Amino acid sequence: MTQGLKTQRLVALFFAGLVAFNFPLLALWDHEVEVLGLPLFPTALFVLWAIMIAALAWVMERDGGAPSSHGP
């Protein structure tokens, strides 16, 4: 993956996180509901946070399918 494309994806991921963890969308999850015995709001925050970390790892570790120059 080219450096410019990786930078664009990281910036897009930053803004997606900014929107996801901002008030209007977080208010959607703020209800007195339980999921598997856990309150919905903290559970939703944890799941969103885990998705953001997984997406960040995917962007950073992806090489774009270019052949490796580190040997066989």
User: pLDDT by residue (tens digit) across 28-43?
Assistant: 888 899 989 999 999 9
- Residue 42's pLDDT is 92
Q: 3-state class of 46 per DSSP?
A: helix
pLDDT at 67 over 80: no
The CA distance from 56 to 17, in Å, is 11
Model pTM score: 0.74
- Helices and strands per DSSP (H, E), number in the chain: 3, 2
- Predicted confidence (pLDDT) per residue in 39-64, tens digit: 999 999 999 999 999 999 999 998 76
Which sequence spans correspond to the domains of the chain? 6-61
Query: pLDDT class for 70, splitting at 50, 70, 90?
Result: low
